[in-house]
Every structure is written in C-alpha cells, then in structure tokens.
Structure 1
Amino acid sequence: AALPAVAPAPAPAPVPDMGFMHFVAQSDFVGKSLFIILILMSLVTWYLILVKVGSNISMRRRSADFLNKFWNASSLEQVEHEITTHGARDPFSHLASHAMHAQAHHNKFGATKLEEAGSNSDFVTRTMRKVIDEETAKLENGLTVLASVGSTAPFVGLFGTVWGVYHALVGIGLSDGVTINRIAGPVGEALIMTGLGLAVAIPAVLAYNTFVRNNRVYLSRLDAFAHDLFAFLTTGQQVALSDSKVRALRRQHGNGAAVQRGSE
C-alpha cells in the first residue's frame, strides 16, 4: 500500500530585525532628534579631546624649551632677545615678555594713565596677574562644553529610552496576542538610548577631569615662575650669575629668598 504523503514542515517564522538601527528607523521625529543630538555631542567631545591633547602637548614642549633657555640665560636682556627673535609662543614666554615690557614702560614713562598708577612693582604685579588670567582662560577653553556634555548626555539618552518605551507599549497595547517576545524586543531597543547616552558622557567626564588636573598643575608652575620673575625685576637682579648659580636658582624655584642669596 502506498505510504501517505508527509506534509512538509512549516517554515520557521522569520526572526524580526531587532537592533539599535531598527529602533532608530522605527522611531518618530523626537526619537531621531535625540539620536542626532547624542551623535553631535559625541563628535564635539572627541573633537575637543583631540584638539586639546595636541595643543597641550605642543604648549608644554614649548614651555619646557623656553624655561631651559630662561634659566640658562646670562641676563634678562638675553631672555628679551630670545623672545623678540622667536616670539612668545607659550604662557611662560608670554608672561616674561609682558612683565619685562611693563617694567621698562613704567621706568621710562611713569604712571601716565590710571591703569599704570602706583609704583613700578605694583604695575608689574597687575600686568603679570592679567597675563595669568588670560592664560587661565585659554587653558579652560572648551572645558565648559565637556562638562555640559558629561552632565546632560545621560539624561538625553534616558529621555530617549522613556520616549521609546512609551511608544513601544502603545503599539503593543493596540495589537492582538501580546506575548513576552512582543514586549521584550521594542523595550530592549529603547533601552539602547540610555547606553548611548552613557557612551557619550563617560569620555567627556574623564577628559574634563584630566584636563582640569593638568591645568591646575601647569598653572601652579606658571605662578611659581611669576614669583621668581617678579623677584628678578623688582630687586634689579639681572641674572648676572655664573651658570652653576643660575641652575641652583632653578632648583630653588619659587623661593624669593634664593634670589637675594644668589646676589650676595
């Protein structure tokens, strides 16, 4: 007897496409806008990180080169000639150039304007403080953006998740035959927005903390150099010392009494 024909096995149900890009494609205007905002935040963050890392490396290299020439110079005139020849390319040379110019200007013309009022040392002090404030502002450029991204990106991602879960639940409620599979997929896709927000925020926070610490260390060195330079200018010390004594002053960096001991 002929065997009964076996019915072919039913084809497996197609696996629905579940993923982040599927979530973005299915989201509405608000969801796509939040996604674009997070991408722009990430691009701005990494741009600032790369630019500031490159500029900081270059600035520290030029600063080290200038400090080496400064502490090995025989006089402030030689330092001034070096700055005139190569320009003030870093905060240390910028500070030295303005301080020496302020002293020479006040010695020659005196207090001709209100901003020049006071003694020579007062005018030099105000000039150096102004330069340090300018350099501080330059070093902090872009840090506000990093701080803003680090603090707001997680909430942007969380809002995207809430919005996506809301629309997913609305869609599930309007459909028939609600199962765990129909709930888990859309909700899981929406949760990816929270992960994207964290992925944007974490590099921004780490970069911000790193740059703030590096700036604090760098500005403390600049402030110590300002004290030494102020002592040279106000005491009339022209660094007319032997090379060994100049290096000794550098080891005692930040101690104004060392300048007077070197001049005895």
Structure 2
Amino acid sequence: MNLYLLAAGAAEAAPENKFGFVEAMKEGGPVAWSILAVMIIMSVGTFYIMFTKIFEQNKIFKQYKTVETQFWRAGGLKEGAAKLDKDSAWRQLADDAIKAQEEHGKMTDALESHDYMHGSLRRSEDSINAVLSGGLPFLASVGATAPFIGLLGTVIGIYRALINIGIAGSASIDKVAGPVGEALIMTAIGLLVAVPAVLGFNWLQSRNRRIGELLSSFSTDILAFINSNGAVKPAVTAAPAAKPAAKPAAPAAKA
C-alpha cells in the first residue's frame, strides 16, 4: 500500500514536459502553425514535381533508344516516325519535320525553304523544352524562399521570448525555452525544405540540358536527311541482341 502511494505521489509530482515539438508550436500560436503549413505545402509540392519530372525524363531517355536503333533504319521519315511512340518528344519532332517537308515546296527560294524547315524544328524543340521545364520554377522559388520563411518564424519566436523575459522580469529557462525552441525548429524546417528543392532543381536542370542536346542533334540529322533526299543520315546503332531461348531440360533416363 505504501509503495502504491509513493508511486502515485511520484507520478503526480513529475513535471509536465513543455519542451516538445507540439508544445513549441502551441507556444508559437497561429503564426507558427501557418508557417508550418506553408512549409509542408512547399515540401509536398517539391517532391511531387521531382518524382514526376524524373519519370518524364527517364521516359524520354528510354524512347531515345528507339530512335538510335529503329528510326534511322526506316526508308523514310514517315516510316521511321511510325516506329516511335505517339506521345513521345521524338515523334513530335519527326511529325513536325514531315509537315515542314510537305510545306517547304511552296517556298519560291531555296534559302527560304531551308530557313522555314529549320525554324519549324526549332519551334518544336522549344515547345518540348518548355514542357520539360514546367514545375522547375517552383523548385527554384522554394529553394530561395524556404530559409527566409523559416527565418520569419525564428524572428517571431525570439521576439516572443524577449517579451516573456520583459514580463517576468528575469530570463528564467521556463519563460524563454518555448519561444526559443520554436525559433530553432522553424529555422531547421526551412533548411530541410530548401535543401532538397535546390538539389532537385540543379539535377533536373542538368538532365534537361542533356535532353535538349539530344533533341537538337536529332533535329539537325532530320534536316540533313531531308535536304540530301535521304543520302545523309547518322550511323545506325545496332539493336540489342535477343536473349537465346532456354533449352528444354533433357528427359530423365528410365531405370
């Protein structure tokens, strides 16, 4: 009985923890929760854009293998375009080239004809690059602003700590720990949101530049193919060899 009373008394006497994450956010009030909500939205948007862009880029790189192994094996542009996926960037370039080839005959000057076809392919490249760049400004904005939004929470937390010190008349730990803890948490959250956004933006940009180089090279090859009536085209990459079929297992010998 005495042991039970001692345990109950110790539980009642145990101080309540006022320095956790939730307690720090409660100390910050609506401002802290609003800043946290903005950070969560930024983080979710960042990772959504990153994963969708990675999937989009990987799809384009995979489709380029078809261009290397099958497109230039065809006898003409229409036959080669039929071998490409209908929703691919490479099919768009090929279709735009076919359309320009059909319309360039209306030009009275050979130089104007070449410039028209070159401009048509360039516009097609620009439209593809614009789609690939979609969402990246959001990553750049998050990487640039998230630390400052976190800093806003830090400033507000420190300001609240100073007010508590002034009201209490002393800088006791229980008066300043909550606001200062909130301030530090906001700074950390701002950095955690900004760092992935900056790294993802730079990495996706480098991959987009590589895709842009491949698109430009493909456009140049198509233009040379058209102007030379099919005489000039890049070397065809050998298609990957098919794996040999597994041989059936030999029947077991009868006893």
TM-score band w.r.t. shorter chain = 0.7 to 0.9
Q: Match for 2:141: what amino acid? A: S
Does 2:100 match 1:99? Answer: no
Q: Is the 8 A contact 1:63 1:92 kept in 2?
A: yes
Deviation at 1:12, TM superposition (A): 4.8
Deviations 1:83-111 (Å, cap 9, x if unpaired)? 5xx52x2222211210121111222xx14
Question: Aligned partners of 2:156 and 2:81: how far apart in 1?
Answer: 63
Q: Match for 1:209: what amino acid? A: N
Question: Aligned partners of 1:213 and 1:69: how far apart in 2?
Answer: 27
- Please, which of 188, 200, 203 is the counterpart of residue 195 of structure 1? 188
Closer/same/farther in 2, CA of residues 73 and 246 from structure 1, 3 Å limit: farther
- Please, which of 122, 137, 154 is the counterpart of residue 129 of structure 1? 122
Q: Match for 1:226: what amino acid? A: S
Q: Which residue of 2 aligns with 1:49?
A: 50
Does 2:53 match 1:60? Answer: no
Unmatched runs of 5 consecutive residues or more in structure 2: 1-8, 239-255
Closer/same/farther in 2, CA of residues 80 and 216 from structure 1, 3 Å limit: closer
Q: 2:70 aligns to what SS in structure 1?
A: helix
Q: Which residue of 1 aligns with 2:222?
A: 229
- Please, which of 184, 198, 213 is the counterpart of residue 205 of structure 1? 198
Deviations 1:119-162 (Å, cap 9, x if unpaired)? 32111111001001111111111110000000000000011011
Q: Is the 8 A contact 1:172 1:182 kept in 2?
A: yes
Deviation at 1:163, TM superposition (A): 0.4
Query: What aligned pairs does 1:101-250 form with structure 2 within 5 A after superposition?
Result: 101-107=99-105, 110-111=106-107, 119-175=112-168, 178-237=171-230, 246-247=235-236
Query: What aligned pairs does 1:245-260 form with structure 2 within 5 A after superposition?
Result: 246-247=235-236
Q: Match for 1:44: what amino acid? A: G
Question: Aligned partners of 1:143 and 1:179: how far apart in 2?
Answer: 46
Q: Is the 8 A contact 1:27 1:164 kept in 2?
A: yes
Count of aligned residue pairs for this structure pair: 230
Compare 147-156 and 224-233 and name the one that shifted more: 224-233
Deviation at 1:36, TM superposition (A): 1.1
Q: Which residue of 2 aligns with 1:21?
A: 22
Q: 1:16 aligns to what SS in structure 2?
A: coil
Q: Is the 8 A contact 2:73 2:80 kept in 1?
A: no
Q: Match for 1:92: what amino acid? A: W
Closer/same/farther in 2, CA of residues 74 and 186 from structure 1, 3 Å limit: same
Unmatched runs of 5 consecutive residues or more in structure 1: 1-7, 250-264
Q: Is the 8 A contact 2:129 2:212 kept in 1?
A: yes
Question: Aligned partners of 1:146 and 1:131: how far apart in 2?
Answer: 25
CA RMSD between the two structures: 2.8
Q: Is the 8 A contact 1:42 1:200 kept in 2?
A: yes
Compare 213-222 and 58-67 and name the one that shifted more: 58-67
Question: Aligned partners of 1:181 and 1:17: how far apart in 2?
Answer: 8
Deviation at 1:72, TM superposition (A): 2.3
Identity %: 35
Deviation at 1:71, TM superposition (A): 2.4
Deviation at 1:75, TM superposition (A): 3.0
Give the alignment's TM-score, normalised by structure 1. Answer: 0.77
Q: 1:141 aligns to what SS in structure 2?
A: coil
